[in-house]
A and B are shown apart, each in its own frame.
Chain A
Amino acid sequence: MGDSLAVRQVLEHTKLAQGPEVLLEKTNAKARAALEALAARDHNGEVLTAVRHFPAREAQWAEFSEWVNADLCAAYGAKGIARLYSHQAAAAEAVHAKKNIVIVTPTASGKTLCYNLPVLHQVLENPDTRALYLFPTKALAQDQLAELHDLNTRLENRFGVFTYDGDTPGDARRAIRERGHIVLTNPDMLHTGILPHHTKWTRLFENLKYIVIDELHTYRGVFGSHLCNVLRRLQRIAKFYGSTPQFICCSATIANPGELASRLIENKVEVLSANGAPAGEKTFVFYNPPVVNKALGIRRSYINESARVAQEFLKHEMQTMVFSNSRLQTEVLLTYLQRANSQQPGQPESIRGYRGGYLPNERREIERGIRDGKIRGIVSTSALELGIDVGSLDSVVMAGYPGTIAATWQRAGRAGRRSGSSCAVMVASSSPLDQYIVRNPDYFFGNTPEHAYIQPDNLEILLNHLKCAAFELPIEATEKMGEADLPELLPKLADAGYLHRAGDFYHWTQEAYPADTVSLRSVTSDNFIIVDITGEPRVIGEVDFPSALTFLHEKAIYLHGGQQYHVEHMDFKERKAYVKEVDSDYYTDAVKYTQVRVLEGANSERISPGGENLWHVRTHGDVLVRSQVVGFKKIKFFTHENIGDGKLELPENEMHTTAYWMTLERGLVESLPFSVSERQSGMFGLLHAMASVATLLLMCDGRDLGTAIGERPPAAGSGESEFAPVRYEEMASGKMKEFFEPNLYLYDAYPGGIGFSEPLFRAHDLLIEKTRELIAGCECEDGCPSCVGPAGDLVPRAKEAALAILGRVCA
């Protein structure tokens, strides 16, 4: 076969497990031509850092069990489903055996049948049966509704299925409550719309047999901790009406689906992870934009590169979906691609955008256009990442790493859903995460290390849900809610005026409706409101308290929906920030002091991997974080020049949270052959990189973890005298007071902690190992934003120093 030089290069470079013939045989001509064109750009093998081929997979079949309702079998048969995939049959059996289950499957493996089959069977056998389906977004519920309607038509409308969300018209609600066998909703609506009005849902709660939680992996961190409490409330109400629902969960591939599911529902869960669905062959490519300035580690814009890659596929007549990580980028990519593929006269636009904010009808029209192939290219935000059915596409291009391995596979799954050959390309941005992923493809393609964690007993979250629970049903003094110590908490809520004890029960004693003030997407309800006063004052958003101090201080440039706003006035007492639209060529960066005090270590281990008396310690526990924004810098866009400073007087913010930290003992620090400032700057760079890797392992956002460095206190809990503030610039440039035994902290950036610290403590070895890979694998000379931080902030040998520290802490 006549392999082109370019493809040969690619294949050699990426050391593909299978030979080049396999790839070329199996990838059809169009895809091959497009891949060749991509490879042609890769002159020295630095651009395509991975090309992985996934062969087609045969379906594993199973028959419908004999217990399945005959009409239901017939309805599925009429849809062309005469047999089941093995995992669908296994799921149906497990549900039939009354087990709680979590099904772990990739995109497009027919997972909805896994729950629809057993639920509908039960509904047909016993029309009193009720089921509640929870989806993280309204759009997903809509999509499922269409699927269920189709089945219902074939079953002569023998069951009622409705979505119930903020868009449901008032006059339809009563019918849904009475006649909905299956109600599709989202956690927020359950929290504010259904549970506080459970008396209107008597029919549902008295007969609630199944709760389906789709996209389980999205319920992690804050959102997951809230959901766990919403489910506690739901189960409490169900119990009140005498029902004990069974849970059916579906998750994308993560490392701990069973653990996550059983923590969320607080019960035993069986994990079903075998997948019997067929898959078409697929080529997955990692694309790292070429370096244009090696010293500063600057690469070509990944947005432009993504557009180019997409254009390559479009040129080869492959239907292509482009994912971006923000609305703004969606618009940029869309403009680029529409220009490159100008509309033919009389033909509909062949390149379309898709994102939240489009009207439902427009969305449906676009979804249809994708399915019937009239739309050749589609640029989307994460809106199309989750299971909305748009049929299969030939290729997917991701502009930037989607943040988690699970999300990346879900997006990639949009290409070649059923059969045929397809391509997925991930174009990396220069963020540390993206760079780590493209340079360490095995991390991505191996067994996923991504864990989802929740902390439902975070006091702030728990107390808010206790209020909601008391509103819904008086809480008995002896009641249990997870691990929470209710006999301690309920009197506190009573003292604060929220509850009143009458007999054995605590009752709600407030006029207000507690669920209204509790958002499932943030920890506290103490938020700042952003008011745009450019014209008629209007509220444009809400920001939680700690972020407000950083982003909404006076004279800050605040970005919202792609528009820049200048903060005119911050009303601290009323929790409001007044902003005006501006068009400036700079952004602002708050100058912040952070100090961490250890309150109590929960677990600790002293380690000396190489012997030689070079010790370091890993610990996790409770800390007090104090931070204060003392000023800000104005930074010019593109050039990142500092063009001015300002001082600010804002109150100090203090929070109790949990942290993981690594202590470098004196012997280790002194063994480093660097000057004091180089060492200090190196520690800072190391922490910067560790934070990046930690967000990978925890599937969390960069804002969820805070970083700080401080001197190790003489003994845990008594370090008041060493409680010195640390300022970012001083630390980075190594100018501060010398640390003899520094603690490198990664703390949960939410009051009370959100469950990251203990897992980080456990993953300590993995964390430092991956951090070393990140820094060592980076091509920059003296540091760049992708590894230890921008070179300009650090002293020259900081990167070296960071690697030297890692050399002494890694086994």
Chain B
Amino acid sequence: MSTSDKFARLSALKPVRSAAPLAEPSNEPMQGDEVTQLLGGLCQKTKYGQHLTIRNWYSSPEFSEPAPAALDLLTRNKDETLSRKTRAALENPERWLFLDTETTGLAGGTGTYAFLTGIAWWDAGGLQVEQFFMRDFTEEHSVLCELAARIAERPVLVTYNGKTFDWPLLESRFTMTRRIPAPKLAAHLDLLHPARALWKLRLGSVRLTDLERQVLDAERLGWRREDDVASALIPQFYFDYLRGGSAAPLAGVVRHNQMDLRGLAALFGKINTLLSTEVLAETDGRDLFGLSRFLHRRGESPKAEKICVKALEAGLPAEHRQQASRDLALMAKRRGDHAAAAELWKSLLQGNQSAIEACEQLAIYFERREKNIELAAEYVQLGLAKLRSGGQRLRDPFAEARILRRENSLLRRLARLEQRLATSRPQLQPERSTAATAGRLL
């Protein structure tokens, strides 16, 4: 069959996009110099060729001295303690490097490239930003060579989602060169996780741009992202440019990356302050509750409890109010104030979130502290009644299994309590209407 016929109907060759490229392809491929000029950079020569380096210094955000208390909270990890070497690197802000990449996709894997890698560090009271751009795939090794040298100087990485995305991607790129080893990091602070813990309750989304607007007060800093490029379009801008399209949209990508780096540094400043000051400026209950939970999870119970109380005072939506009461109850129990915990559990009996847990906790309380076995048994009965009445048939097998486990644990507890009751007062009727029980306890 003829060649053209052979290829005409292959679905594997179906053109990628039917729409016109985002940028008109120019007839003349753009000269290297034009791109350099357009993006405002310099051609950098390295051992492995050349690439474009774009340097800028910004006065904002200002330098924020990493506070030991904040660092401690940010790096606390159940499984391991920091080595002295790591700690020393972390405590020296001159060893810090903010990093953010612009890539040809989000899928990861060996076919995704970081075509623009931005790094930044504090310098002269402001932020020095450096960006490495590969004008074609042939320049990748040169970019990586330069990046490796920078990381060797400043091996503490600070990123936003970099633990999951940027750094594994770059590691993969280094591996693919087979000649430039991936630089060793002294530490890696990924601010996504603390940011999520602190602001997700209020903001819902914790994209860096949302944080800039709502947490970092971008207006005051005079930051604008009005002409910011949409992240989703970035890979296509680069592909279009590679195929001879205009490089103009890439100038927007370079700006976007600069803003992300500045936002990242500013975000660190914000978190740094929040975690290291005693007097909080926060007034939103949800922010306070987020902070309380962040501290609670890291074992800072006294502080967490104080802030949790503040959060309740500041006002929380109903669902979070119940969570906050539950946290407070657990913390009260932990420090041995069982009566206070019991009061909090009682307040949760009517709720829809922790009522069953509250029943169980109250049963434990009455059994162990008040030695009131009968009441303890009644709380277990109430818990069972709630568990069963809430039995809208769940399709999720995991949820069903969870409910089943819970039911079994309640039943075991009930059996044990009833046995204790039977030995002390054999005449007791174990069967008691749950409705009556519920009426008495609520």
Chain A residues in the interface with B (C-beta under 8 A): 196-200, 202, 240, 459-460, 463-464, 467, 470-474, 488, 492-493, 496-498, 500, 502-503, 505, 507-514, 516, 524-526, 599-600, 622, 654-656, 751-752
Knowing A472-B111, A513-B111, A599-B1, say if A500 contacts B9 (CB, 8 Å): no
- The answer to whether A497 and B138 touch (CB under 8 A), given A196-B109, A197-B109, A656-B5, is no
CA distance A525 to B13 in the complex (A): 11
Quick one: CB contact mask for B228-263 with A, threshold 8 Å, 1 for yes? 000000011001001100000000000000000000
CB < 8 Å: which of B9, B13, B111, B175 contacts A496? B13
Evaluate contact between A492 and B13: CB separation under 8 angstroms.
yes
B1, A503: Cβ atoms closer than 8 Å: no
Q: Which of B3, B10, B104 gathers the greatest number of chain A CB atoms within 10 Å? A: B10
With contacts A497-B15, A502-B136, A656-B9 taken as known, whether A512 is within 8 angstroms of B107 at the C-beta atoms is yes
Query: What residues of chain A lie closer than 8 Å to B57, measured between beta carbons?
Result: none
- Residues A200 and B172 in contact in the complex (CB < 8 Å), given A509-B242, A511-B235: yes
- Mask, B1-33, CB within 8 Å of A = 1, is 101011101111111110000000000000000
Q: Which chain B positions have C-beta within 8 A of A460? A: 10-12
Q: Evaluate contact between A510 and B16: CB separation under 8 angstroms.
A: yes
Taking CB atoms, residues of chain B closer than 8 Å to A656 are 1, 5-6, 9
Q: Beyond A199-B172, A502-B137, is A508–B13 a contact (Cβ under 8 Å)?
A: no
Is B110 close to A, CB under 8 A?
A: yes
> What's the Cα separation between A760 and B176 when bound, in Å?
45
Closest CB pairs A-B (n = 3): A471-B111, A497-B16, A511-B105
Q: B3, B13, B242: which has the most chain A beta carbons within 10 Å?
A: B13
Chain B positions within 8 Å of A, measured between CB atoms, are: 1, 3, 5-7, 9-17, 104-111, 113, 136-138, 171-172, 175-176, 178, 235-236, 239, 242-243
The one of B6, B11, B105 in contact with A524, judged by C-beta atoms closer than 8 angstroms, is: B11
B109 engages A464 (CB within 8 Å): no
Task: Decide: A199 near B5, CB < 8 A? Known: A464-B12, A500-B239, A505-B137.
Answer: no
Report yes or no: A496 in contact with B5, Cβ–Cβ below 8 A.
Answer: no
Residue of A nearest to B14 (CB): A496
A510-B12 in contact (CB<8A): no
A474: chain B residues at CB < 8 Å are 137
Residues of A within 8 A of B14 (CB): 496
Chain A nearest Cβ from B247, distance in angstroms:
15
- 7 example contacts (A-B, Cβ-Cβ < 8 A) are as follows A197-B110, A198-B110, A474-B137, A497-B17, A500-B243, A514-B111, A526-B11
Shortest beta-carbon distance, A141 to chain B, in Å? 23
In angstroms, how far is the closest chain A Cβ from the Cβ of B393? 14
Q: Of B17, B137, B172, which is in contact with the most chain A CB atoms at under 10 Å from its CB?
A: B137
B239: which A residues are within 8 A, CB to CB? Answer: 497, 500, 509-510
Distance in angstroms between the alpha carbons of A197 and B105 in the assembled complex: 15
Instruction: Evaluate contact between A502 and B11: CB separation under 8 angstroms.
Output: no
- Distance in angstroms between the alpha carbons of A459 and B5 in the assembled complex: 12
Query: Could you say which residues of chain A place their CB within 8 Å of the CB of B9?
Result: 654-656, 751
Q: How far is the CA of A492 from the CA of B10 in the complex (A)?
A: 11
- List of A residues within 8 angstroms of B178 by Cβ: 240
CB atoms of A496 and B110 under 8 A apart: no
- Cα–Cα distance between A608 and B203 once the two chains are bound (Å): 84
Pick the contact of A471: B12, B109, B242 (CB < 8 A): B109
Complex contact B12–A463 (CB within 8 A): yes
Do the beta carbons of A467 and B12 come within 8 Å of each other? yes
A199-B171, A459-B6, A463-B12 in contact; A512/B110 too (CB < 8 A)?
A: no
- Chain B residues, CB < 8 A from A752: 10
- CB distance A622 to B1 under 8 Å? yes
| Assembled-state Cα–Cα distance A525/B108 (Å) | 21
Total contacts A to B, CB within 8 angstroms? 108
Interface contact A196-B111, CB-CB below 8 Å: yes
Looking at chain A's contact residues, is the secondary structure mostly helix, strand, loop, or mixed? Answer: mixed
Q: Would A472 and B16 count as touching, CB distance under 8 A? A: no
Assembly CA distance A25 to B437 (angstroms): 76
Bound Cα distance from A622 to B2, whole angstroms: 10
Question: Which chain B residues border A505 with CB–CB below 8 Å?
Answer: 137
Assess A202 versus B175: contact at CB under 8 Å? Given A524-B11, A599-B1, A656-B6: yes
Residues of A within 8 A of B242 (CB): 500, 502, 509
Query: Quick check: A199 and B16 within 8 Å, CB to CB?
Result: no
A508–B108 alpha-carbon span in the complex (Å): 13
CB distance from B382 to the nearest CB of A (A): 34
Minimum CB–CB distance for B387 against chain A, Å = 25
- CB proximity of A547 to chain B, nearest CB, Å: 15
Q: Is the CB of A600 within 8 A of B12?
A: no
Residues of B within 8 A of A496 (CB): 13-16
Rounded to whole angstroms, the CA-CA distance of A752 and B179 in the bound complex is: 41
Tell me the bound Cα distance from A510 to B104 in angstroms. 7
Which residues of the other chain, B, contact A198 by a CB distance below 8 angstroms? 110
The residue on B at minimum CB distance from A654 is B9
Residue among B15, B111, B113 facing the most chain A CB atoms (10 A cut-off): B111
Per the bound structure, the CA–CA distance linking A654 and B1 in Å amounts to 15
A473 engages B110 (CB within 8 Å): yes
Chain B residues in 8 Å Cβ range of A197: 108-110, 172
Among A511, A514, A600, A655, the residue within 8 A (CB) of B104 is A511
B5 partner residues in chain A, CB cutoff 8 A: 599, 656
State the CA gap A196–B106 with chains docked (Å).
14
- Closest-CB distance, A123 to chain B (whole angstroms): 24
Q: Is the pair A463, B107 in contact by a Cβ cutoff of 8 Å?
A: no
Smallest Cβ distance from B432 to chain A, in angstroms? Answer: 35
- Pick the residue among B11, B13, B107, B176 that contacts A199 (CB under 8 A): B176
List the B residue with the shortest CB-CB distance to A473: B110
Assembly CA distance A609 to B83 (angstroms): 88
A622 to nearest B CB, angstroms? 5
* C-alpha spacing A199/B177, complex, angstroms: 10
Besides A196-B109, A507-B137, 8 more A-B contacts (Cβ < 8 Å) are: A199-B171, A202-B175, A463-B13, A508-B111, A509-B104, A511-B105, A511-B107, A599-B1
Assembled-state Cα–Cα distance A512/B104 (Å): 9
Question: Nearest Cβ in chain A — how far from B188, in angstroms?
Answer: 16
**B108 / chain A contacts, CB cutoff of 8 Å:** 197, 513
Q: Which residues of B contact A525 (CB under 8 A)?
A: 11-12
Shortest distance between the CB of B30 and any CB in chain A (Å) = 14
CB distance from A720 to the nearest CB of B (A): 14
* Nearest CB in chain B: distance from A492 CB, A: 6
In the complex, which residues of chain A have a beta carbon less than 8 angstroms from the beta carbon of B12? 459-460, 463-464, 467, 524-525
A470 to B109, CA, bound (A): 12
**Which residue of B is nearest A510, CB measured?**
B16
Chain A residues near B7: list those with CB within 8 A: 459, 492
The distance in angstroms between the C-alpha atoms of A205 and B86, with both chains bound, is 32
Q: Are B15 and A513 in contact (CB under 8 A)?
A: no
On whether the beta carbons of A463 and B10 are closer than 8 Å, the reply is yes
Give A463's nearest chain B residue, CB to CB. Answer: B12
CA distance A513 to B108 in the complex (A): 8
Complex CA gap A503/B14 in Å reads: 25
Q: A509 — nearest CB in chain B belongs to which residue?
A: B239
Q: B residues within 8 A CB of A654?
A: 9
Nearest to A202 among chain B residues (CB) is: B175
Q: Which residues of A contact B176 (CB under 8 A)?
A: 199, 473
Contact of B105 among A199, A498, A510 (CB under 8 A): A510
Q: Report how far A197 CA is from B16 CA in the complex, Å.
A: 23
Q: In the bound complex, what is the Cα–Cα distance between A622 and B11 (angstroms)?
A: 19
Query: Contacts of B235 on A, CB cut-off 8 Å?
Result: 511
- Nearest to A655 among chain B residues (CB) is B9
What distance in Å separates the Cβ of B184 from its nearest Cβ neighbour in chain A? 16
- Give the CA-CA distance A502 to B242 in the complex, in Å: 9
Interfacial chain B residues near A655, Cβ < 8 Å: 9
Q: Return the chain A residue nearest B242 by Cβ.
A: A500
Q: Which residues of B contact A502 (CB under 8 A)?
A: 136-138, 242
Residues of A within 8 A of B109 (CB): 196-197, 471, 513
Q: Is the CB of A459 within 8 A of B138?
A: no
Residues of A within 8 A of B11 (CB): 460, 524-526, 751
Name the distance in Å between B148's Cβ and chain A's nearest Cβ.
16
CA distance A471 to B137 in the complex (A): 13
